[in-house]
Structure 1
Amino acid sequence: MEIVFVTPVISLPRRLALRGRDVWPGVLVCMGIAVVASAIGRLVPVLGGAVPAIVIGVGIALVRRPADRLRPGIEYSSKFLLQCAVVLLGAQLSLASIFQVGLASLPVMLSTLAVCLLTAWAIGRWLGIERRLRTLIGVGTGICGASAIAAVAPVITAASAEVAYAVSTIFLFNVLAVLLFPLLGHALNMSPHAFGLLAGTAVNDTSSVVATASVYGTAALSFAVVVKLVRTLMIIPITVALAAVEARRTASRGMSAGQIGRLVPWFLMGFVVVAVLNSLGAIAPGVQDGLVQASVFLIAVALAGIGLSTDAAALRRAGWRPLLLGAILWVLVTATSLVVIWATGALA
């Protein structure tokens, strides 16, 4: 029995070395783009490092798809390093601020989610989009992009092509949000608080929320990240509800408690742990500044990876109907968020 427990520990250095060999080429490319993007951000502060990183990545991908040997590192950068960046963002927040922001964002969050899911069902059906695909686009837009799509896909037994279509559709509007939302915020003269609420509730993936809000400033970024992470928790009730519907439709069993627990993203828990440490004064001011700067750079690295992952062919294969549905949902969620923010007096 001892060998069963000792062998994984003994083999860990070798497994880490093999993993590093796979991911480092792509990670280094993403870091190189992030360095250039950060330099551009210093020259043009309104852009920051996030927007140039994703724009450079998309431009490279459209001209020439990255080689196969770079793809593991690009995927590692766009997912794991982004999650690490979100964890580090907890160093500038306290538990009190997380609770306060989460509570304040509930009216906007629940309103946008309800509008998005109902519209996805009704208009998606009218457009003749297959049930699973319209469900994926709906949860991707209403909750948290690719993460929600990945959580829901196995529950509704979506095909890999449907997942690819949904992710590609969501990705297009993520990029548009990064480029257009800061302009919208300045045009409406929104405060950092209001813009963070808009970005956290109307932008899809965590990466795009971070990129969009970081252009508007640190205050908007901190608020948007908390709103987005609270919104991410909606994966759990929505996925459980879809599992119940699917079980009823196919006369199969629902989700177990363990499966429900695994829907909570690890980086959300990490973010809370770091925020707790910061609340207790366990993170020195100098260390806190270093963690925040590391987070900002990792965000640029992750967005470079996301840009390099652009699949123009997948967008073309998805056709115009899923893109139209994604566009309608994106506009409606944005409009609903702005209206509720205005109605609750949080616009200024």
Structure 2
Amino acid sequence: MPTPSSPVSSSSLAPGLVPCLLVAVLAVIVNLAAPAVSPLLIAIVLGALLTNVTEIPESWGAGVQFASKKLLRVGIVLLGLQLAIGDILSLGWRVILGVILVVTLSLLGTLAMARLLGISRPLSILIACGFSICGAAAVAGVEDIADADEEEVATAIALVVLFGTLMIPLAPLAAHAMGMGEVAGGTWIGASTHEVAQVVAAGGAYGAAALSVAVIVKLTRVVLLAPVAVALSFAERSRGTLREGAKRPPIVPLFVVGFLVMIGIGSLHIIPAGALSGLKVLQTGLLAAAMFALGLGVKVKGLMRVGGRPVILGALSTVWIALLALAMVVLSGTMGA
């Protein structure tokens, strides 16, 4: 696999990049035919299945790395076009403040629990960001900042897939059991479930109004990836504990700048609806390609070596975030809505 400093030609990228793109196209087609099926989940699962049933050719290395890093960041940047500041403001200041507090407290709480469990700081950061913000995209978005290795990234992504998928049936059932209306249920689902696609599946199961609110609440959490990434960059640079040979993370990652710029452009509503729909499909495809590449790193043998503590952390973090989101719903006065 090429080092970050070595030049990468298109011929060396093709063997690994082409399968990633083909899987992305397949996942998007399945999603267009069955909108309830997450293309990102399809891609991650296919990658994980493939890498555990057969040996991935070494020639795929450069292309897979390109998809998991470069394509992922472009996908995250384009995701900003789906976020309009007006939609976020429509939630009201109580819910917006509540979302900020949920993300902040879930991050800090997960990091504290990880420290008590004796989990490495890089893996702790990946799990905290993945569970608190936007799943596998957040994990991959901060992996360089956290100075995480491939095994730690794969572990965090596997946990996001596991516990986020469990939330798809459990969150609507729990919301119903607590007597939440669609607005309250959507708010709680959007604030507590890990991946955007998982929120769509869970929110859609609770009702059309719940789905709309859940997506806006979730995308508000996604916006917080930018300030969290910047804060982590400052924190990790100041700690001076990077592994030997590792580069210090940038103060403001470039993809964060692009993400914020796209939010601004999306909020101006200057892009025609047709073009915006096309860009959304492109963004989904890029993220799906990246998720397949990341899924190729999810190896059962590696997860078994990691042990049960990260799984315990994932369970505790999921419960912690769900409780924080419930408190937000109650305190914001939307419980009966």
CA RMSD of aligned residues (A): 3.6
Q: Which residue of 2 is the match for residue 173 of structure 1? A: 159
> Is the alpha carbon distance of 1:151 and 1:325 closer, same or farther for their aligned partners in structure 2, counting shifts above 3 Å?
same
- Following TM superposition, by how much is the alpha carbon of 1:305 offset from its aligned partner in structure 2, in angstroms? 2.0
Q: Which residue of 2 is the match for residue 271 of structure 1? A: 259
Distance (whole Å) between structure 2 residues aligned to residue 327 and residue 286 of structure 1: 41
Distance (whole Å) between structure 2 residues aligned to residue 277 and residue 128 of structure 1: 43
Distance (whole Å) between structure 2 residues aligned to residue 201 and residue 268 of structure 1: 23
- Following TM superposition, by how much is the alpha carbon of 1:175 offset from its aligned partner in structure 2, in angstroms? 0.7
Query: Which of 18, 43, 46 matches 1:53?
Result: 43
- Following TM superposition, by how much is the alpha carbon of 1:42 offset from its aligned partner in structure 2, in angstroms? 4.0
- Following TM superposition, by how much is the alpha carbon of 1:174 offset from its aligned partner in structure 2, in angstroms? 1.0
Q: Which residue of 1 is the match for residue 287 of structure 2? A: 299
Structure 2 counterpart of 1:97, which letter?
A: D
Q: Which residue of 1 is the match for residue 299 of structure 2? A: 311
Q: Which residue of 2 is the match for residue 117 of structure 1? A: 108
Count of matched residue positions in the alignment of Structure 1 and Structure 2: 306
SS in 2 for 1:264: coil
Q: Which residue of 2 is the match for residue 106 of structure 1? A: 97
* 1:341 equivalenced with 2:329 (yes/no): yes
SS in 2 for 1:237: helix
> Is the alpha carbon distance of 1:149 and 1:126 closer, same or farther for their aligned partners in structure 2, counting shifts above 3 Å?
same
- Following TM superposition, by how much is the alpha carbon of 1:33 offset from its aligned partner in structure 2, in angstroms? 1.6
Question: Unpaired runs of 5+ in structure 1?
Answer: 1-14, 154-159, 204-208, 251-258
Distance (whole Å) between structure 1 residues aligned to residue 141 and residue 284 of structure 2: 21
Q: Which residue of 1 is the match for residue 144 of structure 2? A: 150
Q: Which residue of 1 is the match for residue 245 of structure 2? A: none
- Following TM superposition, by how much is the alpha carbon of 1:268 offset from its aligned partner in structure 2, in angstroms? 3.1
Deviations for 1:42-61, whole angstroms, at most 9, x for unmatched residues?
44332142322222222112
Question: Is residue 115–residue 332 contact of structure 1 (8 Å, CA) maintained in 2?
Answer: yes
- Following TM superposition, by how much is the alpha carbon of 1:213 offset from its aligned partner in structure 2, in angstroms? 3.4
SS in 2 for 1:283: coil
Q: Which residue of 1 is the match for residue 172 of structure 2? A: 186
More displaced, 29-38 or 89-98? 89-98
> Is the alpha carbon distance of 1:282 and 1:140 closer, same or farther for their aligned partners in structure 2, counting shifts above 3 Å?
closer
Distance (whole Å) between structure 2 residues aligned to residue 323 and residue 56 of structure 1: 21
Structure 2 counterpart of 1:87, which letter?
A: V
Q: Which residue of 2 is the match for residue 224 of structure 1? A: 218
> Is the alpha carbon distance of 1:102 and 1:180 closer, same or farther for their aligned partners in structure 2, counting shifts above 3 Å?
farther
> Is the alpha carbon distance of 1:211 and 1:62 closer, same or farther for their aligned partners in structure 2, counting shifts above 3 Å?
farther
> Is the alpha carbon distance of 1:279 and 1:125 closer, same or farther for their aligned partners in structure 2, counting shifts above 3 Å?
closer
Higher Cα Rg: structure 1 or 2?
1
SS in 1 for 2:9: helix
Question: Is residue 105–residue 227 contact of structure 1 (8 Å, CA) maintained in 2?
Answer: no
SS in 1 for 2:325: helix
Q: Which residue of 2 is the match for residue 37 of structure 1? A: 27
> Is the alpha carbon distance of 1:20 and 1:108 closer, same or farther for their aligned partners in structure 2, counting shifts above 3 Å?
same
> Is the alpha carbon distance of 1:170 and 1:37 closer, same or farther for their aligned partners in structure 2, counting shifts above 3 Å?
same
> Is the alpha carbon distance of 1:223 and 1:332 closer, same or farther for their aligned partners in structure 2, counting shifts above 3 Å?
closer
Deviations for 1:154-182, whole angstroms, at most 9, x for unmatched residues?
xxxxxx6xx45543432222112442233
Distance (whole Å) between structure 2 residues aligned to residue 336 and residue 130 of structure 1: 24
Q: Which residue of 2 is the match for residue 9 of structure 1? A: none
Question: Unpaired runs of 5+ in structure 2?
Answer: 1-6, 205-210, 242-247
TM-score by length of 1: 0.71
- Following TM superposition, by how much is the alpha carbon of 1:29 offset from its aligned partner in structure 2, in angstroms? 0.4
> Is the alpha carbon distance of 1:152 and 1:28 closer, same or farther for their aligned partners in structure 2, counting shifts above 3 Å?
closer
Query: Which of 325, 330, 348 matches 2:313?
Result: 325
Deviations for 1:94-131, whole angstroms, at most 9, x for unmatched residues?
3433556696433233245335424543x445445567
Q: Which residue of 2 is the match for residue 75 of structure 1? A: 65
Structure 2 counterpart of 1:224, which letter?
A: K
Distance (whole Å) between structure 2 residues aligned to residue 89 and residue 135 of structure 1: 22
> Is the alpha carbon distance of 1:113 and 1:306 closer, same or farther for their aligned partners in structure 2, counting shifts above 3 Å?
same
Deviations for 1:1-50, whole angstroms, at most 9, x for unmatched residues?
xxxxxxxxxxxxxx6xx432232322210122223323433443321423
SS in 2 for 1:234: helix
Deviations for 1:230-288, whole angstroms, at most 9, x for unmatched residues?
244123335545665x47xx9xxxxxxxx89x343333322332333344443223222
- Following TM superposition, by how much is the alpha carbon of 1:317 offset from its aligned partner in structure 2, in angstroms? 1.8
- Following TM superposition, by how much is the alpha carbon of 1:88 offset from its aligned partner in structure 2, in angstroms? 2.4
Structure 2 counterpart of 1:105, which letter?
A: I
Distance (whole Å) between structure 2 residues aligned to residue 23 and residue 192 of structure 1: 46
> Is the alpha carbon distance of 1:78 and 1:328 closer, same or farther for their aligned partners in structure 2, counting shifts above 3 Å?
same
Distance (whole Å) between structure 1 residues aligned to residue 183 and residue 47 of structure 2: 27
